[in-house]
Chain A
Amino acid sequence: NAGVMQNPRHLVRRRGQEARLRCSPMKGHSHVYWYRQLPEEGLKFMVYLQKENIIDESGMPKERFSAEFPKEGPSILRIQQVVRGDSAAYFCASSSKGGQGGNQPQHFGDGTRLSIL
C-alpha cells in the first residue's frame, strides 16, 4: 500500500464533533476515490474526485458528509456532527486514469479507522 497516504490512521471523536480524514494520492495520480467499510462488509464507494472537482458523489450521504481535492494539498473527507453509525474504516484510493480512461487499478491507502464515542 505504499504510495497512497492516509492520516490519521485512527481517529476518535465524540458524537456531534467533526471528523477530517486526509488522503494524499500516489505520485502521478490525479484521481481520488473514497470508500467506506463497515464491519464484516465489503468496501462501498462514496465519492470520486479530480483536482478541484467532484466527479461523482453518488455514494455519499446527503447530509453531514463532504469531500474536496484542492489544487494544492491532500484530499479531505469531512464528516460533520458525527454519529455512532459513522464508525467505520474509510479508505482512499487513487489511480492514474479514471472514468472511461481505461482499466487502471485503483491503489488503496491503509485507511482511517474512525470511532465515535
Chain B
Amino acid sequence: DQQVKQNSPSLSVQEGRISILNCDYTNSMFDYFLWYKKYPAEGPTFLISISSIKDKNEDGRFTVFLNKSAKHLSLHIVPSQPGDSAVYFCAAPGGSGTYKYIFGTGTRLKVLA
C-alpha cells in the first residue's frame, strides 16, 4: 500500500530549462510534505517542505506546489543545473505521529549540459 507515489522513475532535462518532479499521495490526513535530494553513496539531503495550509513554497530555484484536492505535489527547479542531477524523494509524515516519514520511490533527474 503505497501512500506516497512517484510514478516517474526518471527524468531528463536540458540545462537551463525547468525540471518538474511529481508526487501523489493517498492519505488526506497528511499535512506536511518534504522533498529530499540524494546523490549516490550519500544520505538524503533536505531540500524544501510545505505545510498543507499553503499551496506554494519557494526557496531560490526550488518551488513546491501543493494541490490538496488532487492530493498532488510537485517540485519545480528553474533553471536546472547539472549539479541538480540526483534522485529526488518526496516524503510525508504519516502514522500516529509526525516522525514516521513515508517516502516515495524516487525520481532520478538528469540535467544535460
Contact of B98 among A35, A59, A99, A110 (CB under 8 A): A99
A16 within 8 A of B: no
Give chain A residues whose Cβ lies under 8 Å from the Cβ of B32: 103
Chain B's interface size range is 20 to 34
Question: Is the pair B99, A33 in contact by a Cβ cutoff of 8 Å?
Answer: yes
* Interface core residue of A4, A99, A101, A105 (most chain B CB under 10 Å): A105
**A-B CB pair tally, cutoff 8 Å:** 77
Q: Is the CB–CB distance between B102 and A45 below 8 Å?
A: yes
Query: Chain A interface: which size bin?
Result: 20 to 34
A31 at the interface (CB under 8 A from B): yes
Determine the residue in chain A with the shortest Cβ distance to B36.
A108
Inter-chain CA distance A85–B49, complex, in Å, is: 33
Asked if A108 and B105 make an inter-chain contact with CB atoms under 8 angstroms apart, the answer reads no
Query: Do the beta carbons of A43 and B97 come within 8 Å of each other?
Result: no
Q: State in angstroms the CA–CA spacing of A43 and B90 once bound together.
A: 11
A-contact bits for B8-22, CB 8 A (1 contact / 0 none): 000000000000000
Cβ-defined contact, B103 with A48, below 8 A: no
Known: A42-B89, A105-B46. A110 touches B103 (CB 8 A): no
Q: Chain A: residues with CB nearer than 8 A to chain B?
A: 1, 4, 6, 31, 33, 35, 40-45, 48, 55-56, 58-59, 91, 93, 95, 98-103, 105-111, 113
14 extra interface residue pairs, beta carbon distance < 8 Å, beyond A1-B42, A33-B99, A110-B43: A4-B43, A33-B101, A42-B103, A43-B89, A43-B91, A43-B103, A58-B100, A98-B97, A100-B98, A101-B98, A102-B98, A106-B99, A106-B101, A108-B45
